[in-house]
Structure 1
């Protein structure tokens, strides 16, 4: 039996972009929890991926890449350090900041979760053609503010 979140928005609500984005985000969270992890959030996964691609990035740049504010990135990093996924060390160039690296456990989580994350993508875009999925990502990116240059 479909639940309320599986039903289509009323025509009145469907015309509001914010309502549709909110519902899409709710669906993403539900699929993430079912397919990937209740312990590792999609933001934490994104942080792991960024640290894999740019080891030794500073905490501020990681926050910029994730588009989260300073207090949020500080909390996220502290939680990931506590959980043994990343290590934080003093920045040798700027002692006022930290540089971040994946731990062995963080690398293992990334490897384990990657196929599950790809499954989330497949589920979320199952009713779209590859061109439509690319267009959806392009349109969603157009809704976001331009990144600030550092």
Structure 2
């Protein structure tokens, strides 16, 4: 084969590979049909269903799914709501204190605060007491949004109370309050 033609063959092969890639479905495309989902067997939880930890985790998943769905209309996650709430209750709080209180890694909280700051919901400034820390304040927009989010959270709690009953909801609140002070 002539030296000049070898390169042409490679270009054609590369081009055909590119065309093949384009033909693949995107990762965001649905992979299963609704009928295929319905055909999936429901797994037994076995002994897990007797475990209190498993039940608490299932309840937490249910609550987070409901809260996430309600907050999605505001483009806010449950973690972002928590951060906004702590900043409102503790104006001028440093990021480290919030990270510790919510058990969020500092780097993760930094990204979360960056996002809230870009949206104009949080103001971050260097601490006058310790310049290694940033302190956080809600902006007017952050305060206004938080006021709009609270009814969505209240509706989620009403839904949970309806699911388990008002008395069980009250008892659950009281029983779980022991963990509010634990790290």
Coarse TM-score class (shorter-chain normalised):
0.7 to 0.9
Q: Secondary structure at the match of 2:130?
A: coil
Distance 1:146 1:29 in 2: 20
1:107-146 maps to which residues of 2 (within 5 A)?
Answer: 107-142=143-178, 146=182
Quickly say closer, same or farther: Cα 1:99–1:143, change in 2 above 3 A.
closer
Structure number with higher relative contact order (C-alpha < 8 Å, ≥ 6 residues apart): 1
Distance 2:176 2:108 in 1: 23
Partner of 1:61: 97
Structure (1/2) with the larger helix percentage = 2
Distance 2:180 2:97 in 1: 18
Point out where structure 2 has 5 or more consecutive residues left out of the alignment. Answer: 1-37
TM-score calculated relative to the size of structure 1:
0.79
Cα deviation, residue 11, structure 1: 5.8
CA RMSD of aligned residues (A): 2.6
1:61-86 CA distance string (max 9 Å, x none): 11122222222222221221122210
1:68-127 CA distance string (max 9 Å, x none): 222222222122112221010000000000000001221121011110110011112213
For the pair shown, the structure with the greater C-alpha radius of gyration is: 2
Point out where structure 1 has 5 or more consecutive residues left out of the alignment. Answer: none
Distance 2:167 2:129 in 1: 44
